Chain A
Amino acid sequence: MRGDAVLQLDRLAIAQDAFRLSADWQVPAGARVALIGPSGAGKSTLLAAIAGFLAPVSGRVLWQGRDLAPLPPGERPLSMLFQDQNLFPHLTVAQNLGLGLRPDLRLSPQERAEVAAALERVGLGGLGARRPGALSGGQMARAALARVLLRARPLLLLDEPFAALGPALKADMLALVAEVAGNSGATLLMVTHDPADALAICDLAVLVAGGRAEPPRPPAALFAERPPALADYLGPASE
C-alpha cells in the first residue's frame, strides 16, 4: 500500500571530484524502490548522500518534511547495508547485532532476548557466540539483516549487500528483505544491477544514468519503455 510521500529529494545535487549527480523526486511511505543503472553512474553515491556520508552541494534530503542535513548518519531514521564490511570481525555475531540496539553494548536481559529472537528470525539461532569469520557469506548477510530488524528504522538502504551471493541465496535474501520491510512498513531503497531483482520485489524503479537520477516509476513500465540510457546499459533486447 502506498502512503504519502516520506522521502523527498528536493533539487538535490551531489558532487565528488569531477562527478555530478542530481535528483528531484519523492518516494511514498512503504515503497520499495530499485536504483538501477550502469556502474559508476552514482547509485551508491546517492545512497551515501541520503545516509549522510556525503554533504550535498545544494538541495535537501527530507524525511517526513524534515531536513536531514543536521543529523549525523547514526541518528538518521534509516539503516544501511554496505556492499561488504557490514559486521565487525572482532566482535561476536550477537555483539554485532547488539550494536543495533545500544552502540555502547550495555544490553539489558530484555535486549539480549531481542538479539536472540532476531537471530532466530533470520535463521541463525544459536550462532550468536561466533565471530563473522566463522560464518558463510549467506549467514553474514542474514546477521546484518537481523541488525536492521533490531534497529527498526523506517528507511532501509541496500547498497548491493547480496551481490556476492549465489542466485538462489540472493533470491532468499531479497525475499527476506521484502518480508522485513513489509512487516515493519519500512521504505526500501536498493541499488541493483539486475532488472530481475527490481521486478521481483520492487514496486518502483529509479534509473540513474548520465548524471541524473530520474523520478521513480513502476519497473515494468520502465523496462517496457527502455529509454536509451537503460537500453545502453541492458544491451540488446532479448526477444
Chain B
Amino acid sequence: MASGAGTIGGLALLLVAAPLGAVVWRAGGLALSPADLAALRFTLLQAALSAVVSVGLAVPVARALARRRFPGRAMLITVMGAPFLLPVIVAILGLLAIFGRSGVLNAALAAAGLPVLSVYGLQGVVLAHVFLNLPLATRMILQGWQMIPAERFRLAASLGFSPADSFRHLERPMLIQILPGAVATVFAICLTSFAVALVLGGGPRATTLELAIYQAVRFEFDLRHAAGLALVQTALGGLATMAAWVLARHAGFGAGLDRTPLLAAPGGWHRVVDGLAVALAALFLLAPLAAVLAGGAPGVLQLPAQVWPAAARSVAVALVSALMTTGVALALAEARAAGRLGWVELAAMLPLATSGLVLGTGLFLIAQPLVPPMLLALPVTILVNTLLSLPFAYRLILPEAQALQADYGRLATALGLTGLSRLRLLTLPRLARPLGFAAGLGAALSMGDLGVIALFAGERDATLPLVVQRLAAAYRNDAAAGAALLLVGLSFALFWAFDAGGRRAAT
C-alpha cells in the first residue's frame, strides 16, 4: 500500500509540476505593470470577501440541517450540492435572471420606485462566488457536525447541557477544527475562478489574474505575459494551499457506535433562527436554479444534432475523471491517515495552487512540439479535471480516513487486516459516504468544466459545456438554454447517483 500510494502521489506531483515548469520556462522573467498589480489586488480582495461571507453564512445553515428533521430535508441537502456542481456559466445565467439589470429583483425594486442595483463589479463577483460556494461550505461543516458522535450529544443531554454549553463543549471545538480549512478552501477556489470574473467583472477595477491571463493569450497573443501572470497566480495559489495545509487539523472526535442519532435540538427562538437560515438559504440557492429551468425548458425538445455526441463525450470524461480522482484521493488520504508519507498532502493539495487555464497552458506548451494538441483534447481534459478535483476529494475523505485510523487502525492491524481485504471490509464500507460525495463532486465538476477543453478542442471533440458556449456565442439563445438545461440535468444526475450510492452504502 505504502509504495503504491507513493507512486500515485509522485505521479500526481509530476503531472502538476511539469506544466508549471513549462510555464516558468516560457515566462522567462517577472515584470508587473500597474494593471497587473490592480488585478492582483482585486483577486485577493474578492477571494477573501467571498470566503468569509460563504463560510459565515454556512455555519447557521449547517447547524440547522444537522439538528433539525423536517420534510424535504434530505432533498434540500442534495439540492444544496447543485450550485457548486452547476456549470459556472449556467449558474451565472441563473443569477443574472434574478439579480441582473432586468432580473426579478430589480424589476421589483423599480416597481417600488427604488433605485436598481448593479450586479457587475466586486459585489457581483462576490455574490456569484457565495452562490457557488455556500453549499460546499455548508456540506463541509455539516460533515463536521455529523462526525461528532451521537453518544456525545446523548451525554450532553444527560448532563443537562444548555444550547450554549453544547456549543462550547461539542460544537465550538468541531468548528475550530473545520472552519479554517473551509475558509482556506473557498478562498483558493475563488482565487482561480475564471468564468465569474469574465462575465461579472472586467475593466480596470474588476479584473482578476485569471482574466488577465485569458486576455493576454486571446487578445494580446503575448504568451510571455500570460506565463508571467500565471506565475503570480500560482504563487498566490501556493500560499493559499499552504494556509489550508497548516490550518487543517486532525479530526479526533472519537468513535461512535453507529447508534441512531439523538440530536437534542433546542426549541424557542433557536427554532425560529434555524427555520429562517434554512428558508433563506433555500431561496437564495433555488431561485436562480428555477430561472435556469424555466428558461431552458422550451429549447430542450429541439436540440441541435451536435449536442448529443457532445453530451456522450462529456459523460464519459466525467465518469473516468471522477473514478480517477476518488481512487487517487483515497490512496493519498489513507497513506496520510496512517501517518506515512507526509508529502502526499502536497501532491493532493498542489492542484489548488494552479488553475485549469494555467495547467492547460502548460500542457499545451509541452504537447505542441510532439503532437497536434487537438488530438489530445479529451485525454488532457480528463487529466486536468482529475487533478483539479483532487484537492476537494482529498479534503472530504481525509478527516474521516483519519477518524477511521484513530478508531480502528490498531484493531485492523492487530487482526492482520491488510491490502485488498482491508479496503473491502473496512475502508470502503466505513468511508462510503465521503467517497460517494467526492466521486459525485468530481463527476459534476468535470462535466461542467469549460477551461482546458476550450484551449484544446477542435470542431469534432467538443464537450457539452463548449457546445453551450458556442451556441450562446452564435446567439442561438433557445438552443443554448436547452443544451444548458441538458448539461445541468446530466451534471446533477451524475452527482446524485454517486452521492446517494455512497450514503446508501454507509447505512
Interface residues, chain A, with chain B CB atoms under 8 Å away: 51, 53, 72-75, 79-80, 82, 84-86, 88-91, 95, 99-100, 103-105, 131-133, 151
Contacts and interface: CB of A to CB of B under 8 A. Distances in A.
B426 interface: yes
27 contacts: A53-B410, A72-B413, A72-B416, A73-B410, A73-B413, A73-B414, A73-B416, A74-B414, A74-B415, A74-B416, A85-B408, A89-B256, A89-B257, A91-B425, A91-B429, A99-B415, A103-B422, A103-B425, A104-B421, A104-B424, A104-B425, A105-B425, A132-B257, A133-B257, A133-B258, A133-B259, A151-B415
B410 A90 contact: no
B421 A103 contact: yes
Nearest to B426: A88
Contacts of A79: 414
Contacts of B257: 89, 132-133
Contacts, number: 64
Given A103-B418, A103-B421, A133-B259, A88 B413 contact: no
B107 interface: no
A82 B415 CA distance: 12
B415 A100 contact: yes
B430 A90 contact: yes
Nearest to A132: B257
Contacts of B408: 85, 88
Contacts of B426: 88
Nearest to B260: A133
Contact of A53 (B413, B417, B420, B424): B413
Contact of B416 (A86, A103, A105, A132): A103
Interface in B416-453: 416-418, 420-422, 424-426, 429-430
B36 interface: no
A80 B258 contact: no
Nearest to A89: B258
A236 B461 CA distance: 85
Given A99-B417, A100-B415, A103-B425, 13 more contacts: A53-B413, A73-B413, A79-B414, A84-B255, A86-B411, A88-B408, A88-B425, A90-B430, A103-B422, A104-B424, A105-B421, A105-B425, A131-B258
Contacts of B410: 53, 73, 82
A88 B414 CA distance: 13
Contacts of B430: 90
Contact of B407 (A72, A74, A85, A95): A85
Contact of B413 (A74, A84, A104, A131): A74
A75 B413 CA distance: 9
A54 B270 CA distance: 48
Interface residues of B, number: 23
Judged by DSSP, the binding face of A is loop
Contacts of A133: 257-259
A72 B422 CA distance: 15
**Highest count of chain B CB atoms <10 Å: which of A72, A86, A89:** A89
Nearest to A144: B411
A34 B17 CA distance: 56
B423 to A, nearest CB: 10
A151 B256 CA distance: 26
B112 to A, nearest CB: 56
B258 A103 contact: no
Contacts of B258: 89-90, 131, 133
A158 to B, nearest CB: 13
Nearest to B255: A85
A63 B420 CA distance: 29
Contacts of A95: 425
A18 to B, nearest CB: 20
A86 B408 CA distance: 8
A99 B425 CA distance: 10
B255 A80 contact: no
A206 B408 CA distance: 28
Contacts of A53: 410, 413
A51 to B, nearest CB: 7
Question: Which 6 pairs, one residue from A and one from B, show the smallest C-beta to C-beta distance?
Answer: A74-B416, A104-B421, A89-B258, A103-B417, A133-B257, A73-B413
Interface in B256-301: 256-259
Contacts of A131: 258
Contacts of B416: 72-75, 103
A89 B407 CA distance: 11
A86 B410 CA distance: 10
B411 A82 contact: yes
Given A84-B255, A105-B421, A133-B258, A90 B413 contact: no
Contacts of A151: 415
Contacts of A51: 414
Interface string B479-507: 00000000000000000000000000000
A26 B410 CA distance: 25
B214 to A, nearest CB: 48
Contacts of A104: 420-421, 424-425
Contacts of B256: 89
**Highest count of chain B CB atoms <10 Å: which of A75, A104, A105:** A104
Nearest to A106: B421
A13 to B, nearest CB: 22
A103 B415 contact: yes
Contacts of A90: 258, 429-430
A116 B258 CA distance: 24
A53 B406 CA distance: 13
A151 B421 CA distance: 17
A195 B98 CA distance: 74
A99 B255 CA distance: 20
A105 B412 CA distance: 13
Nearest to A99: B415
